[in-house]
Amino acid sequence: MATETQGAESAQGLPQLDPTTFGNQIFWLLVALVAIYLILSRVALPRIASVLAERQGTITNDLTAAEDLKARAAEAEEAYKKALADARAEAQSIIAETKAGIKADLEKANAEADEEIAKKTAEGEKRIAEIREEAIESVREVARDTTGEIVVAMGGKPDDKAVEAAVAAQMKG
């Protein structure tokens, strides 16, 4: 008998496919769908909508904050570029002032050196002129003495005026 009972149950098939229970199954299907709809529409979907709205608000706030930070970064970059340009301009002006100062000092030093060289050159030329005059006077004196000695050696008597005139004539060229 046990095998007959098992045979009858297996011949009957799946219970959800039994046409005698279709009305019952449709009723409970509708009840389950209405319950799921009510649970979703009253509990789950509002929570999901609030989470999505909160996320959208956070995203919007973050985008606004990012735009503000981007604007601040652009302002900071402009300020940096301006400060850098100002610093470069100031450095160029300092360099120009320093060059002008160095050039003025160099010109002053050159002028002092030129003045010193001119003084020393004038002193040197004056000293050379004095030495030349002394040398010429020494040559005249030697020439007078030598001429006088030559005249004496030749047996004559030297005349100082004549010797002086002869030496002067030879010295003029």
pLDDT at 171: 79
**55 belongs to a structural domain:** yes
pLDDT tens digits for 96-140?
999 999 999 999 999 999 999 999 999 999 999 999 988 888 888
pLDDT tens digits for 48-100?
999 999 999 999 999 999 999 999 999 999 999 999 999 999 999 999 999 99
**8 belongs to a structural domain:** no
**13 belongs to a structural domain:** no
Task: Grade residue 162 by pLDDT with cuts at 50, 70 and 90.
Answer: confident
**32 belongs to a structural domain:** no
Instruction: Please state the separation of Cα 121 from the chain's center in Å.
Output: 50
**41 belongs to a structural domain:** no
- How high does pLDDT run on average in the chain? 88
Position 71, amino acid: A
Q: Number of helices and strands (H, E) in the chain? A: 4, 0
**30 belongs to a structural domain:** no
Angle, helices 160-172 vs 45-153, to 10°: value is 140
pLDDT at 10: 52
- Which tokens belong to 76? 């900071």
Question: Which of the pair, 16 or 30, is modelled with greater confidence?
Answer: 30
Q: How many domains does the chain have?
A: 1
pLDDT at 20: 87
**110 belongs to a structural domain:** yes
Question: Which of the pair, 18 or 87, is modelled with greater confidence?
Answer: 87
Domain that holds residue 100: 46-172
**74 belongs to a structural domain:** yes
